[in-house]
Chain A
Amino acid sequence: AQRVTQPEKLLSVFKGAPVELKCNYSYSGSPELFWYVQYSRQRLQLLLRHISRESIKGFTADLNKGETSFHLKKPFAQEEDSAMYYCALAQGAQKLVFGQGTRLTINP
C-alpha cells in the first residue's frame, strides 16, 4: 500500500541552524512527491514538488529512490519558517496521500 511517513511530529531548531524534515514513502510505481506547508492562520499551500527541482524560500528536497526518501532541507532556518509541513505522494493521476505532518518551530 502507498504510504508516506514523517517520523517527527515536532521539530525545533534555532534560527540560523540547518533544518531537515524527513519524509519516507512506499510506492510501487513512479513516485511524484510534494511538500505542502501551512503557516499559522493561513491555508495549506504547495511549497515545492520534486519534478520542478527548484528551491523555494531556501528549501530544497531531493528524491532518493534508493532510500525512498524526499527530505526537505534548508541550510539556515529563519523564524518565518515556523509552520506545519506535510509531505505528499501522488497516487495515480490525481490523488495525494499525505504524511502526518511535522510541526517545525524556529527558536530565536
Chain B
Amino acid sequence: DARVTQTPRHKVTEMGQEVTMRCQPILGHNTVFWYRQTMMQGLELLAYFRNRAPLDDSGMPKDRFSAEMPDATLATLKIQPSEPRDSAVYFCASGLGNRDEQYFGPGTRLTVT
C-alpha cells in the first residue's frame, strides 16, 4: 500500500533556527503539494510542483520559506529563520494532477519557541 511519507513527524526548535521538512511522494505521482494547517487558517496551500518544476508558490512567505524537489522521490520545505508564528502542522500530498485525488502524508508538527 503506497503512501506519502514525511520526516520528521515532530520538530521543536527555537526561533531563528533553520527547519527542513522532507517528503517522499508516492512513486509515479508527478504532482507534489505542501500545505500548512493551523487552527485559525485551516489548510493553506504553500506551494506545488509538477514533474519537479515549481508551478505555484504564491502561498509561501518568500523571505523565509523555500521549497524544492531535488529529485522525483524527495520534496523539501525549508524555513530559515523560523519564527513562532510558523508553528503548525505541515502536510505534503502527492497526486497525478489534473484534479485527481491528492494523497496526504501524516504531517510534520512544527513548534517554534
Contacts and interface: CB of A to CB of B under 8 A. Distances in A.
Contacts of B55: 94
Interface string A72-106: 00000000000000100010011111111100000
B102 A46 contact: yes
Nearest to B42: A100
Given A32-B99, A43-B104, A45-B104, A97 B91 contact: no
A44 interface: yes
A44 B104 contact: yes
B104 to A, nearest CB: 4
A49 to B, nearest CB: 8
A100 B39 CA distance: 8
B45 A94 contact: no
Given A43-B106, A44-B104, A46-B102, A96 B50 contact: no
Given A93-B99, A94-B48, A94-B50, A86 B106 contact: no
Interface residues of B, number: 26
A20 B53 CA distance: 39
Contact of B107 (A43, A86, A97): A43
B97 A93 contact: yes
B42 A86 contact: yes
* Residue picked from A32, A90, A96, A99, most chain B C-beta under 10 Å: A96
B101 interface: yes
Contacts of A93: 97-99
A95 B42 contact: no
A64 to B, nearest CB: 20
B25 interface: no
Interface of B: 4, 31, 33, 35, 41-45, 48, 50, 55-56, 91, 93, 95, 97-99, 101-107
Interface of A: 32, 43-46, 49, 86, 90, 93-101
